[in-house]
Structure 1
Amino acid sequence: MPNHTPRVAMVAGETSGDLLAGLLLDGLQDLWPGLPSGGIGGAQMAQRGFDAWWPSEKLAVHGYSFELLRRLAEIILIRKRLRARLLQSKPDVFIGVDAPDFNLGLEMDLRAAGVKTVHFVCPSIWAWRAERIEKIRRAADHVLCIFPFEPELLAGHGIAATYVGHPLAGVIPLEPDRTAARARLGLAEGEPVLAILPGSRSAEVQYIAPGFFQAAALIRRALPAIKMIVPAVPALHERLKRMAHDCGLGDALTIVVGQSHTVLAACDVTLIASGTATLEAALFKRPMVISYRMHPWSWRLMRRKQLQPWVGLPNILCGDFVVPELLQDAATPQALSAAVLDWFAARQHQPERISALHQRFAALHHSLRRNTPQLAADAIRKVLTA
């Protein structure tokens, strides 16, 4: 254990990174009460006393090329200023939480200057962009992995790593309380409920939400009694509300601020954008239809680098198409609505199919469930004392 409380700098991008970083701060503060930390972060980190010099939303980009170019100048300027600040007043350790395009280059510079570096969440080199492995090796003294197969993969390239479990597996209960969640949202116990999660970024809403809401209108025609609920980040609430109104969804659809976990616990099925939220839905043991759309240029570039047949995390981790994926041009309102309605039909006529999915997701949950804050903090402590 260092003989002083270390100074920690962190960068977390987007909502999912903010959640992961907040849980990591819990573990670090258990080791070092009053631990000072600063950098780029969001609301969860701020609740732990993190000093956000820039908000994590500044790093939120959509796609691979076209959208990134529009934001590139601002992101480069932020990284330049952050790098100068951290080199002028060096922290004991820098922790990059996800956001590999931003963090890995910064970690390389800081590590070269003698700062200990940790990267939390191994970039998905097993899914796409395998060429990143050399950059990770140069950037990180240690990698904290959220999936059990990753440390062995990294070790083969000379990269020190620790499996710490997935923090969400510890936050989400093994058996979610659907009744309590529905009561909190004002939903009746027996009515069919669809959760719609079109993403938390502005560009995701631009490309994904219209198709989701058009599909929702078709689903409503087939199931007039259905209730639909959308958890939205505050900045996108009004925009989503206007989109839903334009699709004629009326009072069949409710948009709530936040509460994504409550919504997933309450629903029967979810129509969901590919990303971390799909893993959350799997941990809630919910049938889902995974979809994604982005700018066509971004799509073409991403597809060239894809290494696996699956895009959604539940399918990748299960090694099978356990839930349908409808991507880009395949994500038509008609196809999305048909896939969602198929799950609702299975709830009535194929309960064994729903039960089998529940069992697959329960096994996945157990494999990811660890004391992530403690394991991650212990690994960082060892990096500091090495």
Structure 2
Amino acid sequence: MKIFVVAGELSGDILGADLLRRLKQHYPEAEFLGLGGEKMQAAGLKSLYPLETLSVMGLVEVLKHLPKLLKVRKHLYQAALDWRADLMIGIDAPDFNLGLEKKLRRQGIKTVHYVSPSVWAWRQGRIKGIKKSCDLMLTLLPFEAAFYQQHQMPVCFVGHPTADHFPLQPDKNAARAALQITNSAPLISLLPGSRAGEVARLAPLFLQVAQRLHRRHPSWQFVLPAASPQRHQELEAHLAQWPVEGLRLLQGQADLALQAADACLLASGTVALEAMFCKTPMVVSYKVAPLTWWLGKKLLKTPWVSLPNLLAQKTLVPERLQDQAQLELLVEDIETLILNPEVALTQTQAFYALHQQLQCQASETAVQAIKPLLPSVSSTE
């Protein structure tokens, strides 16, 4: 059995690795080719390009990389045909993967898209193209599945794999011990994103917030986990310009940093969901190119962008986006979470309920949904 898999960024690599391991349990002879990172490669994928190839965020930013992206997609399309793939699974990266899925589906290859694009939030007309691109949509969130059902699109809500990895009751003391944090003073985690563009836009602001908080509260502690070795180098350069006394720059260990923290300041994205699973009170912030922001505001159909708020369908966590991503506002938001325990408690209580909703053994559920699309090969389970 030959399964072609394409993931576009770090979160997709994590999801893909879980799925590939589970597929391998059911189909030990399965082979995987496509594009993914270290985790997917460790799970058996032969990757034709580095994971970073597709890690481009924003409407304007994508245009600059479009010729290269089109060349990569053309090569992947031909590789899947030459390899005689039985199935293609596109993981996130919808603007890239859906086009590839559509072309391969026309050639008779069954296609699955894992992680719904935010079609329910903006550009809802894309549903027509999605229905032409894939045989099955796998969604991480329940309200996404309801949207596809309304449009007669084959869909399966699988839950979120990350929800399965985190315990409902995190052990903050163990996380602090693992990070060798013995001081009981408040700890704030800073997570400015996993992409180069996110770090470039958000890291200086986040470090200035930490500087201001340290001046006001000298005992407070800070950790800054880097998503990759490349991000670590970039963050080191930012720290040289905006040093924060006592701040620790970590290589990876974002899970521990979130579990150990009393509050976190983070980029909008999957990391907000991880913070929710860690039951860590948070403030979400994000900045993009001005034109990207203007276009996005015109098209957005929801009042929120962060996953905790979208799941709760209310403003559960503060969102400081674009012009609202200001030093004073972020400092005030973090101080509120640390100095007013009832505010933090409101967040964490909601996080427990949302975590339970998403614990569905996602990778196994996904495999069971995919099985009808696979060739008639006996499964070991």
Please give the TM-score of this superposition, normalised by the length of structure 2.
0.96
8 Å CA contact retained: 1:174, 1:283 = yes
Task: Give, in angstroms, the shift of residue 255 of structure 1.
Answer: 0.9
- Deviation digits for residues 177-222 of structure 1 (CA, Å, limit 9, x no counterpart): 1111111111125121000000011111111111111111111111
Q: Counterpart in 2 of 1:199?
A: 193
8 Å CA contact retained: 1:179, 1:189 = no
Distance in 2, matches of 1:368 and 1:242, equals 38
Distance in 2, matches of 1:53 and 1:236, equals 22
- Deviation digits for residues 125-175 of structure 1 (CA, Å, limit 9, x no counterpart): 122221221111000100111111222321222210111111110011111
For the pair 1:91 / 2:74, whether they are aligned, the reply is: no
Distance in 2, matches of 1:117 and 1:316, equals 27
Q: Counterpart in 2 of 1:109?
A: 103
Among candidates 1, 8, 14, match of residue 9 of structure 2 = 14
Distance in 2, matches of 1:355 and 1:34, equals 48
Q: Counterpart in 2 of 1:35?
A: 30
8 Å CA contact retained: 1:13, 1:99 = yes
For the pair 1:23 / 2:18, whether they are aligned, the reply is: yes
8 Å CA contact retained: 1:230, 1:254 = yes
What amino acid is aligned across from residue 369 of structure 1 in structure 2? Q
Distance in 1, matches of 2:105 and 2:354, equals 35
Among candidates 136, 159, 180, match of residue 186 of structure 1 = 180
Task: Give, in angstroms, the shift of residue 15 of structure 1.
Answer: 0.3
Task: Give, in angstroms, the shift of residue 298 of structure 1.
Answer: 1.1
Q: Counterpart in 2 of 1:243?
A: 238
What is the total number of aligned residue pairs between the two structures?
375
Q: Counterpart in 1 of 2:350?
A: 360
Q: Counterpart in 1 of 2:145?
A: 151
1:385–1:35: structure 2 CA closer, same or farther, 3 Å change rule? closer
8 Å CA contact retained: 1:137, 1:157 = no
Task: Give, in angstroms, the shift of residue 340 of structure 1.
Answer: 0.7
What amino acid is aligned across from residue 359 of structure 1 in structure 2? Q
Among candidates 351, 360, 373, match of residue 370 of structure 1 = 360
Q: Counterpart in 1 of 2:288?
A: 294
Distance in 1, matches of 2:368 and 2:34, equals 21
Q: Give the SS at the match of 1:175.
A: coil
What amino acid is aligned across from residue 9 of structure 2 in structure 1? E
Report percent identity of matched pairs: 39
Q: Give the SS at the match of 2:137.
A: strand
Q: Give the SS at the match of 2:59.
A: coil
Among candidates 269, 278, 293, match of residue 275 of structure 1 = 269
Distance in 1, matches of 2:36 and 2:251, equals 20
For the pair 1:74 / 2:64, whether they are aligned, the reply is: no
Among candidates 27, 34, 50, match of residue 55 of structure 1 = 50
For the pair 1:224 / 2:214, whether they are aligned, the reply is: no
Distance in 1, matches of 2:148 and 2:57, equals 27
8 Å CA contact retained: 2:338, 2:344 = no
Q: Give the SS at the match of 1:356.
A: helix
Distance in 2, matches of 1:220 and 1:241, equals 19
Give me the CA root mean square deviation.
1.3
Task: Give, in angstroms, the shift of residue 385 of structure 1.
Answer: 5.3
Moved over 3 A (4+): none
Task: Give, in angstroms, the shift of residue 267 of structure 1.
Answer: 0.5
Task: Give, in angstroms, the shift of residue 355 of structure 1.
Answer: 2.7
Task: Give, in angstroms, the shift of residue 325 of structure 1.
Answer: 0.6
What amino acid is aligned across from residue 321 of structure 2 in structure 1? L
What amino acid is aligned across from residue 63 of structure 1 in structure 2? G
Distance in 1, matches of 2:10 and 2:121, equals 22
Instruction: For 1:248-263, list aligned pairs within 5 A.
Output: 248-250=243-245, 252-263=246-257
Distance in 2, matches of 1:79 and 1:318, equals 36
- Deviation digits for residues 221-271 of structure 1 (CA, Å, limit 9, x no counterpart): 111111111110211112212212311313x21111111111101101000
Q: Give the SS at the match of 2:118.
A: coil
What amino acid is aligned across from residue 78 of structure 2 in structure 1? A
Please give the TM-score of this superposition, normalised by the length of structure 1.
0.95
Among candidates 229, 238, 251, match of residue 234 of structure 1 = 229
Distance in 1, matches of 2:223 and 2:54, equals 27
Q: Give the SS at the match of 2:280.
A: coil
8 Å CA contact retained: 2:34, 2:76 = yes
Distance in 2, matches of 1:110 and 1:53, equals 17
Q: Give the SS at the match of 1:111.
A: helix
What amino acid is aligned across from residue 153 of structure 1 in structure 2? F
Distance in 2, matches of 1:135 and 1:334, equals 43
8 Å CA contact retained: 1:151, 1:160 = no
Q: Counterpart in 1 of 2:371?
A: 381
Bigger shift: residues 119-128 or 261-270: 119-128
